[in-house]
Amino acid sequence: MRHSVDVQCPHCQSTSISKAGKSPKGQQKYLCTNSECPKKTFLLHYVKRAWEDGVKETAIDMVLNGSGIRDTGRVLNIHKNTVINAIRKRKEHCPRKSTLVHPVNRYLGLR
Residue 70 has a pLDDT of 92
Pick the closest to residue 40 from 26, 24, 21 (CA basis). Answer: 21
Residue 16 has a pLDDT of 86
The rounded Cα 17 to chain-centroid distance in angstroms is 21
pLDDT tens digits along 30-66: 999 888 888 788 888 776 666 667 788 888 888 888 8
Cα 7 from Cα 13, distance rounded (Å) = 9
Residue range 95-108: mean pLDDT, rounded: 63
24 versus 99: the higher-pLDDT residue is 24
Q: Where do the structural domains in the chain lie, given as residue ranges?
A: 17-47, 50-108
